[in-house]
Structure 1
Amino acid sequence: MTEPTIRPSETTLRGLLDGPWAHVRQKSRDQLRGDLFAPVAGLGVAEHRERVMEQLRTIAGTEMAGYGFSSAHGGSDDVGASVVAFEMLVCDLSLMVKVGVQWGLFGGAIQALGTEEHHAWYLPRVISLGLPGCFAMTETGHGSDVQGLRTTARYDPDTQEFVVDTPDDDARKDYIGNAARDGVLAVVFAQLITGGTNHGVHALLVPIRDADGHPMPGVRIEDCGPKAGLNGVDNGRLWFDHVRVPRTALLNRYGDVAPDGSYSSPIESRNRRFFTMLGTLVRGRISVAGGAGTATKAALTIAIRYADTRRQFESPSGEEVRLLDYRAHQRRLLPALARSYALHFAQEELVRTLHDGSRGDPLSEEDQRRLEARAAGIKAVATWHATHTIQTCREACGGAGYLANNRLPQLKADTDVFTTFEGDNTVLLQLVSRGLLTRYRDSFGDLDPKGMARFVAGQFIDTVIERTAARPLIERLVDATRRRGESDIRERGWHLDLLEDREQHIVEGLARRLRRAGSGDAAFEAFNDAQDHVLKAGRAHVDRIVLEAFVAAIDRCEDPDTRAVLDKLCDLYALSIVEEDRGWFLEHGRLTASRAKAVTEAVNTLCAELRPHAAVLVDAFALPDEWLAAPIALGAEETRQEERRTGGASR
């Protein structure tokens, strides 16, 4: 291959990827170095847990631990920084999860659900790691269905205490990080009962270990034992046998109990109160999406560097061919790379929204619902992408990818559960679709003639699809394409229009389908029967917003060569989405057979055009070699540097 005439700037790419929290990313690269943070393969469970706890203690001595907490209690008032710092912990994903449990879930719940008294008493010790804790929500019999949790917290007005109880084994708290070894205090989610009335799920602070590390009276702790991955995290099970905690143990921002047992809340509706409480914990879901994204970037960096130097089979000239010069190999890795870039920019928008909502005026109820739905959708798509891409990278590296010292097996094992925790992905996509249907109903009611006329007139996008800062740019591109009629296969406006149209059509069809069912049991059966349609709507929505985020990011890039490469990468993302779902587009008349073939040809061409830039695109992730810890990636990097120095690269 000839040298590319376009030369993207790795520095420009890195600046765009690092985004508004570039200083946090760089601080992570600088501080998490040395033997303590170098990935180590083959550790036993006990040894791995101790190593991760030592890493956690080191981080507790830095400002990283306090990013997401109030400055009044030793933090930095920077929620965005806390999420980005979490994303960067790819040196060991067990450390990533352990950080998430201590400062994201446990500390985050105290900050979000507690009041000033709780903040002043607990948060300084949470930040310093003087108080290791757990987030005890999931039960053996109830995971995603949090409203159905069966742990109880009954108020005793005679002693002004809550009595926390596990009624049976199905109600035990399960898979709880920090529970098996290190946790001292747990945020326990339970049905709050006063005077015989159940007020729904609330959170209480329950001590689980004494100063000597022994279980507290009435608390039973069991180790979950070895897992497929993340064995540096001490997951455990908790039972409570009529454990008494003081009335002040209730995290009472959204619901309080007076000494006499009377209950009060600023939110009258039990359902609304429940969803408001859960909504404050959305940071965990956003963090998981970002962590999965970084793990995927690490796998792609390893696989693409390896493919850029590993040679296999002779060409007619007699020289062995690099793996990345084979179209089939490009097809395996480069569309995945394009999707990782797209998801990165969508994640950045998500973090900005979360951060802005935590600093200024609180988000409106509608905006909060949009944030939660978007977080759910991106988490689902990003973690499924991680699972698929890391496996592809493992296979693309052949036997070398199966060796533990090349990191890919550990990345695969550690990220597999990301599709499950912080919400099962299938359930999360249903949540996204429910949000779309709610907005559809709010805009069009029961689709009376007037509502239908509005719909046919093309108001769906304006009323159901949220307006973002990038929306004017998106609309200009789409309008320009529509005015011209038949568009070029790589025209951005056509990509945007196609994904918008797919989302609109699917949501409209789903709304009609469910509306015919009525209510009660019939409505449940209809929703159950339409599960494939529901999931399709959620996925179509996420594909569209991710593409829009990518387009908006390119608009911020000022370097012409870098922008040209990003344009190709965005084309590859959009067209690979279309190719992946070409059956739908053909069935619904959005593509002709010849146009569908042209999409596949364009994907092949884009892979060829991006091949010379693949190394720069992964190098721009700026993951230190120490974190990759894969000889096949490091050797490839050394070879490429030598080729650059001597001018011997043949691409």
Structure 2
Amino acid sequence: MTVDVRELQRVLDGRWAGVRAEVRAQLGALALNPDPGLSTEEYRELTTANLRLLAESRRPHLGFDPAYGGGGDVGGVVTAFAALGYGDLSLLVKAGVQWGLFGGAVQVLGTSRHHDEYLRAIMDGELLGCFAMTETGHGSDVQHLRTTATYDPAAQEFEIHTPDAGARKDYIGNAARDGRMAVVFAQLITGGTSHGVHALLVPIRAENGTPMPGVTIGDCGRKAGLNGVDNGRLSFDHVRVPRENLLNHFADVAEDGTYSSPIESSSRRFFTMLGTLVRGRISVAGGAGTATQKALALAIRYGATRRQFADPATGEEVVVLDYLVHQRKLLPALATTYALHFAQGDLVSDMHDLQSFGGEPASGTDVEDLQRDLETRAAGIKSVATWHATATIQTCREACGGAGYLAENLLPQLKADTDVFTTFEGDNTVLLQLVARTLLSDYARRVGKLDLAGKARFAADLVAGSLAERTGLRAVLRRGDVRDRSYQRWLLVEREEHLLAAAARRMRRALSPGADQFAVFNGAQDHLLVAARAHVDRIVFDAFAGAVDRVEGPAARGLLDQVRGLHALSVIEADRAFFVEHGYLTPGRAKAITAAVNALCGSLRPHARTLVDAFGIPEAWLDCPLLDGERDPEAPATDPTPSHEEPTDLAAVG
């Protein structure tokens, strides 16, 4: 089976294929593999210069309101920024801070008075800004930030203040060097009453670069990675800003200090404001995905030329990608990267349709439900995608041996730069708890809507399920080919529903009179996390299956279905203990899954290069000594029909 890499790339490029093509052509001249020997200041200067080039390309304008010179293409701009992950992740993050977080907050939290004054300058890169949410003492717990914004009706000004060291704004991108204004999240106080966290525009630097009166700016210094981003610290000593600097889309303060909001519930108002900023979380998942694709392209291409240990039958050294153990390292990770790419594509598409300028939701749709679903999927996919990036890039480094440890070969920088992705734009553990909370709420609502007969059937199903688990009857009654898509989905759905139902039973104890609610929740946290992860796994599976079904060419569809199968079986194999313990698989069938994974690795080995070339990563962004073997005319040719035998030399396995 021969698959045209261009056809496969068209499938991967998806809805925004045109944007991806333009980015590849437009950004090819940027220094997207910066010299690892640059000093922090040199790297920051280069990143800022490249940020200016991005602004000149007008690519960032895509995501803004057409009424202010934007392109109105939210999905397009997220897709474009994610492509920067193929090159310089510092540039991706700094661009995300400038146009996704700072500009995005002004756009979605502000109103026309802010748009008229600031949006064009933000889009053009003339006004560089910060997103000042995280504090030294409060990261994930945004609702309890300690910075205050107290309204003075006599002066018609807000006084922004940092009351203690724990309230200092920390890890703020663009703050240490370039930012002139910040969107500051603070507890809004009027007439002695706190109305919760709101966002205000606060100038932090004058035109000449000096801090504004009352603003203290610090530098976070050199980090493990992303040193082209000038992360800094901000403190405010009774800094005054005009009343109009409140970003007032969801709440406003009148001249006399009267507070008003169209959303009565303070908690709902808070989560509505944060929900509108979901684009940043989706962008992080996209950047993690492209960085992972780059690492896999490097490792698989290197593995297809690097030779180790002789085949006893021929005396010739074997290409390392022909060893099953090497395939096991890389090909399941490649399959999951494909799966997450399609799940990310669905997420971006749904976000675009929900947030597009001037767009109206289809009749009969509940916008709040759509937004909540989007936020839940964004939290789950961001968590899984960034953890996958961390694990896969490490695996790719190991798969390239000592060569993968050299800075010139790009993998160490990818490792360093993506490591923080698991904890910024939401700590992954906290995000999965948010996913679990939404799932439990939906579960309770679904069960609560059942009539008496429905509740009786529900209770009977629980008893039957418990009996089937104890007797092992479930695995006997539901037998299928482990390679069959419907059987794989059944296993993933059953795991998701089983874990969710069990979590709901455990959490119900918190409703008992006198129950220690924190102790109940704390004791069930591990369960909640695996339930959320199972939900995300099923979503990702469905996204991949849907993408396969949309492919027209039989060769490409057949290859992608094999990749989909390898992803699904790898997920199931990784949690074999659950499926066996709860009677969904017999031990024999669990072994069959491992055998099927091995067989799929062998079947996909000849297509490994095609699969990574289909990512469409510009060759200049992969250029490094690691791939010199591909261009060496003295290097022996790779056997197009590799052996899948286990190596007889045990040293080859190590």
- Give the TM-score category using the shorter length: over 0.9
Amino acid at match of 1:613: H
Q: Which residue of 1 aligns with 2:415?
A: 412
Deviation at 1:643, TM superposition (A): 5.7
Q: Which residue of 2 aligns with 1:205?
A: 201
Preserved contact between residue 39 and residue 629 of structure 1 (Cα < 8 Å): no
Preserved contact between residue 510 and residue 517 of structure 2 (Cα < 8 Å): yes
Deviation at 1:387, TM superposition (A): 0.2
Match of 2:110 among 98, 104, 114: 114
Matched, 1:340 2:337: yes
- Runs of 4+ displaced beyond 3 Å: 35-39, 446-459, 637-644, 648-651
Q: Residues of 2 paired with 1:580 and 1:135: CA distance?
A: 38
Preserved contact between residue 303 and residue 633 of structure 1 (Cα < 8 Å): no
Equivalent runs, 1:82-97 vs 2, <5 Å: 82-90=77-85, 91-97=87-93
Q: Which residue of 1 aligns with 2:394?
A: 391
1:225-270 per-residue CA deviation (whole Å, 9 max, x = no partner) reads 0000000000000000000000000000000000000000010000
Matched, 1:263 2:247: no
Match of 2:96 among 97, 100, 107: 100
Equivalent runs, 1:62-81 vs 2, <5 Å: 62-81=57-76
Match of 1:501 among 494, 498, 506: 494
Matched, 1:486 2:452: no
Matched, 1:274 2:270: yes
Amino acid at match of 1:262: T
Change (3 A) 1:164 1:595: same
Matched, 1:429 2:428: no
Deviation at 1:455, TM superposition (A): 3.5
Amino acid at match of 1:253: H
Matched, 1:45 2:48: no
Preserved contact between residue 187 and residue 206 of structure 1 (Cα < 8 Å): yes
Preserved contact between residue 184 and residue 209 of structure 1 (Cα < 8 Å): yes
Deviation at 1:561, TM superposition (A): 1.4
Q: Residues of 1 paired with 2:19 and 2:451: CA distance?
A: 52
Preserved contact between residue 312 and residue 321 of structure 1 (Cα < 8 Å): yes
Q: Residues of 2 paired with 1:11 and 1:227: CA distance?
A: 39
Equivalent runs, 1:557-636 vs 2, <5 Å: 557-633=551-627, 635-636=629-630
Preserved contact between residue 305 and residue 637 of structure 1 (Cα < 8 Å): no
Q: Residues of 2 paired with 1:508 and 1:46: CA distance?
A: 53
Preserved contact between residue 151 and residue 191 of structure 2 (Cα < 8 Å): yes
Amino acid at match of 1:582: R
Preserved contact between residue 163 and residue 243 of structure 1 (Cα < 8 Å): yes
Secondary structure of the corresponding residue to residue 31 of structure 2:
helix
Amino acid at match of 1:367: L
Preserved contact between residue 306 and residue 629 of structure 2 (Cα < 8 Å): no
Amino acid at match of 1:618: V
Matched, 1:320 2:313: no
Deviation at 1:649, TM superposition (A): 4.1
Q: Residues of 2 paired with 1:244 and 1:73: CA distance?
A: 28
Q: Residues of 2 paired with 1:453 and 1:309: CA distance?
A: 62
Match of 1:512 among 505, 512, 522: 505
Secondary structure of the corresponding residue to residue 238 of structure 1:
strand
How large is the Cα RMSD of the aligned pairs? Answer: 2.1
Q: Residues of 2 paired with 1:620 and 1:116: CA distance?
A: 43
Q: Residues of 1 paired with 2:440 and 2:634: CA distance?
A: 51
Q: Residues of 2 paired with 1:291 and 1:547: CA distance?
A: 20
1:37-66 per-residue CA deviation (whole Å, 9 max, x = no partner) reads 343222110000000000000010112111
Preserved contact between residue 640 and residue 649 of structure 1 (Cα < 8 Å): no
Matched, 1:368 2:363: no
1:5-51 per-residue CA deviation (whole Å, 9 max, x = no partner) reads x1122111100100111111111111112363343222110000000
Q: Residues of 2 paired with 1:108 and 1:78: CA distance?
A: 13
Change (3 A) 1:314 1:349: same
Q: Residues of 1 paired with 2:532 and 2:30: CA distance?
A: 43
Change (3 A) 1:328 1:570: same
1:333-391 per-residue CA deviation (whole Å, 9 max, x = no partner) reads 00000000000000000000000001222561111111101000000000000000000
Change (3 A) 1:543 1:237: same
Change (3 A) 1:99 1:575: same
Preserved contact between residue 179 and residue 237 of structure 1 (Cα < 8 Å): yes
Change (3 A) 1:521 1:203: farther
Change (3 A) 1:372 1:164: same
Preserved contact between residue 569 and residue 593 of structure 2 (Cα < 8 Å): yes
Q: Which residue of 2 aligns with 1:18?
A: 13
Q: Residues of 1 paired with 2:29 and 2:578: CA distance?
A: 51
Deviation at 1:512, TM superposition (A): 1.0
Deviation at 1:522, TM superposition (A): 1.9
Preserved contact between residue 394 and residue 402 of structure 1 (Cα < 8 Å): yes
Deviation at 1:172, TM superposition (A): 0.2
Amino acid at match of 2:597: V
Preserved contact between residue 189 and residue 203 of structure 1 (Cα < 8 Å): yes
Preserved contact between residue 215 and residue 234 of structure 2 (Cα < 8 Å): yes
Unaligned residue ranges in structure 2 (runs of 5+): 463-474, 643-654
Q: Residues of 1 paired with 2:538 and 2:609: CA distance?
A: 27
Q: Residues of 2 paired with 1:155 and 1:215: CA distance?
A: 23
Q: Which residue of 2 aligns with 1:126?
A: 122
Secondary structure of the corresponding residue to residue 170 of structure 2:
strand
Amino acid at match of 1:320: E
Q: Which residue of 2 aligns with 1:28?
A: 23
Q: Which residue of 2 aligns with 1:473?
A: none
Q: Which residue of 2 aligns with 1:135?
A: 131
Q: Residues of 1 paired with 2:203 and 2:502: CA distance?
A: 51
TM-score w.r.t. length of structure 1 = 0.93
Deviation at 1:580, TM superposition (A): 0.2
Q: Which residue of 2 aligns with 1:546?
A: 540
Single out whichever of 133-142 and 441-450 deviates more from structure 2.
441-450
Matched, 1:241 2:237: yes
Preserved contact between residue 49 and residue 232 of structure 1 (Cα < 8 Å): yes
1:426-482 per-residue CA deviation (whole Å, 9 max, x = no partner) reads 0000011001001011111398964533546889xxxxxxxxxxxxxxxxxxxxxx9
Matched, 1:379 2:376: no
Change (3 A) 1:146 1:271: same
Unaligned residue ranges in structure 1 (runs of 5+): 1-5, 460-481
Amino acid at match of 2:588: S
1:522-576 per-residue CA deviation (whole Å, 9 max, x = no partner) reads 2221111001100011100000000000000000111111111111111100000
Preserved contact between residue 278 and residue 375 of structure 2 (Cα < 8 Å): yes
Q: Residues of 2 paired with 1:48 and 1:370: CA distance?
A: 39
Q: Residues of 1 paired with 2:51 and 2:552: CA distance?
A: 39
Q: Residues of 1 paired with 2:30 and 2:58: CA distance?
A: 21
Secondary structure of the corresponding residue to residue 209 of structure 2:
coil
Q: Residues of 1 paired with 2:461 and 2:554: CA distance?
A: 35
Q: Which residue of 2 aligns with 1:56?
A: 51
Q: Residues of 2 paired with 1:280 and 1:639: CA distance?
A: 54
Q: Which residue of 2 aligns with 1:464?
A: none
Amino acid at match of 1:393: C
Single out whichever of 336-345 and 34-43 deviates more from structure 2.
34-43
1:308-349 per-residue CA deviation (whole Å, 9 max, x = no partner) reads 010000001101000000000000000000000000000000
Q: Residues of 1 paired with 2:30 and 2:583: CA distance?
A: 58
Matched, 1:349 2:346: yes
Amino acid at match of 1:72: A
Change (3 A) 1:72 1:634: farther
Preserved contact between residue 606 and residue 640 of structure 2 (Cα < 8 Å): no
Secondary structure of the corresponding residue to residue 139 of structure 1:
coil
Preserved contact between residue 339 and residue 564 of structure 2 (Cα < 8 Å): yes
Q: Residues of 2 paired with 1:525 and 1:450: CA distance?
A: 34
Change (3 A) 1:578 1:649: closer
